Amino acid sequence: MKILIVVATRFEIKPLLSQLEICSNVDNRFINCRYKNLEVDVLIAGIGMVSTAYYTGKTLSNKYDFALNTGICGSFNKYIEIGAVVNIVQDYFADMGAEDGEQYLSIKEIGLEGEIEMLNETHIQNNVLFEIPQVCGITVNTAHGNEKSIEKVFQKFHPNTESMEGAAFMFVCQQEGIPYAQVRAVSNYMERRNKLAWNIPLAIENSNKKVLEILNSFE
């Protein structure tokens, strides 16, 4: 089985890399690995939608059986604990549109064609993946850190999570017809920027453990 793991930064996947057999490391962005009987490629796609879409699309031109986007995310839902791992099956491009005074209008609402909602309807047989709580997320170019804008975007999309790459990854996988999943761990709550309340190391530890469990479940 051939699997592509896509992550924004090497920092977010470092614990997993220590568990894989690295076969080659191409320009510090593409790492060819093996894990037991699996061929596992790791793509460090970079931060944000543009970089994610470009490098993921370029890499998926090689046929894969499954693609997995992992990393950290923020959460609008304080019932989801910091460090919790979630499976984002619905994601929105939440800032693609136009402002009309104090109101945000999506591209659909202003009558333009384009994708704003991504819904994962692919199927992959993996017991660990199946058991991860499924949530809705948004993908943005600017992470929210203002109480008013947080409230507005929540009322618009009712998301659980926020990232800067997820929907772009989902879009590319759907265009390429590759089964995929977006699995992230919560590092912080969506509020005014307060790094003292974040726990990035815990989120990275938990997301990497879960990805390893997913790989083992394929075995």
**Residue 167: its H or E element:** helix 166-176
Reported pTM? 0.93
pLDDT along the chain (219 residues), means of 10: 96 94 82 93 96 95 92 95 98 88 81 87 93 97 88 93 97 95 97 88 97 93
Residue 172 corresponds to which tokens in the numbers above?
Answer: 């590319």
Main-chain dihedrals φ then ψ at residue 189, nearest 5 degrees: -95, 155
Three-state DSSP class for residue 98:
strand
State how beta strands 38-44 and 30-35 pair: antiparallel
2-218 is classed in which CATH architecture?
3-Layer(aba) Sandwich (3.40)
Query: Residue 170: which H helix or E strand, with range?
Result: helix 166-176
The span from the CA of 212 to the CA of 206, in Å, is 10
Neighbours of 177 (CB within 10 A): 9
* pLDDT score recorded for residue 25: 77
